[in-house]
Amino acid sequence: MIKIITDSSSDLPYNLIEKYDITIVPLIIKLGHQDYLEGVDLTPKDFFTKMFSSDELPKTSQPAPSAFADVFSTFSSEHELLCLTISSGLSGTYQSACIGKELSSANVTIFDTLAGSLGHGLQIIRAAELAQKGHTIEEIISNLSDYRKNMNIFVLLDTLENIVKGGRLSRFQGSLAKILNIKVILERVEGGKVEILEKVRGKKKAQRRALEIIRERKTDFTNITFGITHTGNVEEAEALKQELILQFHPKDILINYMGATMGTYAGKGGMIVSF
């Protein structure tokens, strides 16, 4: 039997974690002088409440290798282990998992999803479904490699405030973008990193452009599952879901809160669309 293990940055809804019996290794979130385990003693909703009221950005760090080693050791005697992590281009979590494998001496396959949020989560669901159908780990990895290669991930930024706080943009540039009502669309690129795709003036224009880009990337969505994560802007996420249904008729659409890893930079009003 294959046991799937992942980290908390996947932003999977709890019902799916429970359905597929997925074990989560939490990332660490530092808010001020307090450390939290993501999803254990800090919910996404509480995280955003704290972040939006703070002048300083939260910091996230990967789980310690020992945290992975403990989980691998717990399940290795009765299961084949498959561990899927957040992109190595965004976090050191993949490396921690690899070190944890060495520490535990467990027979575990570790897969770098090269994605974050539900781009990561959708790959976990794919793996879990294949495992339930009796596929081997080798077959699952082969399927995931193709899925990962063809996956699209867009980050829609309503504000650049957190980018400025994080030092990736000057205050002058951030103020100018605010004055000009500039909205930014980011894209997951090769290596699992995130880069600017387009800058658009106005929120409605940015959302329309995002839908145009989605249409440009694929022609048939009947077997496609979308993942939408948000930073507390539930109504906007639901409106986007309805627009995706109306325009593309996909197989399914998942919506959930964005986790701290991506949410720290997405900021207020941010959304991530993965498919």
- Which residues, given as ranges, of the chain have pLDDT below 70? 162-180
Q: Which of 105, 135, 150 is the last residue of a domain?
A: 150
Ramachandran region, residue 229 (left: φ > 0; alpha: ψ -120 to 50; beta: rest): beta
Q: Looking at the structure, tell me whether residues 124 and 210 fall in a common domain.
A: no
Q: Looking at the structure, tell me whether residues 22 and 142 fall in a common domain.
A: yes
Q: Looking at the structure, tell me whether residues 161 and 134 fall in a common domain.
A: no
Cα 257 to Cα 149: distance, rounded to the nearest angstrom: 25
Instruction: Measure CA 190 to chain center.
Output: 16
* Any domain includes 42: no
Q: Looking at the structure, tell me whether residues 129 and 166 fall in a common domain.
A: no
pLDDT recorded at residue 172: 46
Q: Report the CATH number at residue 132.
A: 3.40.50.10170
- Domain of 157 in residue numbering reads as 153-274
Q: Find all residues with CB under 8 Å of 88, minimum gap 6, and list them.
A: 94, 95, 112, 114, 192
Q: Where are the beta strands (DSSP E) in 113-266?
A: 153-157, 182-188, 194-201, 225-230, 252-257
Q: Considering only CA atoms, which of 6, 269, 271 is closest in space to residue 121?
A: 6
Q: Looking at the structure, tell me whether residues 128 and 209 fall in a common domain.
A: no
Q: Looking at the structure, tell me whether residues 175 and 260 fall in a common domain.
A: yes
pLDDT recorded at residue 119: 97
Q: Report the CATH number at residue 207.
A: 3.30.1180.10
Cα 205 to Cα 59: distance, rounded to the nearest angstrom: 32
Cα 187 to Cα 258: distance, rounded to the nearest angstrom: 16
Q: Looking at the structure, tell me whether residues 168 and 123 fall in a common domain.
A: no
How many structural domains compose the chain?
Answer: 2
Tell me the whole-structure pTM to 2 decimals. 0.92
Q: Looking at the structure, tell me whether residues 213 and 108 fall in a common domain.
A: no
Residue 174 has phi, psi (to 5 degrees) of -65, -40
Q: Which of 116, 150, 184 is the last residue of a domain?
A: 150
pLDDT recorded at residue 150: 95
Q: H helices of 105-136, where?
A: 117-132
Cα 110 to Cα 127: distance, rounded to the nearest angstrom: 12
pLDDT recorded at residue 91: 94
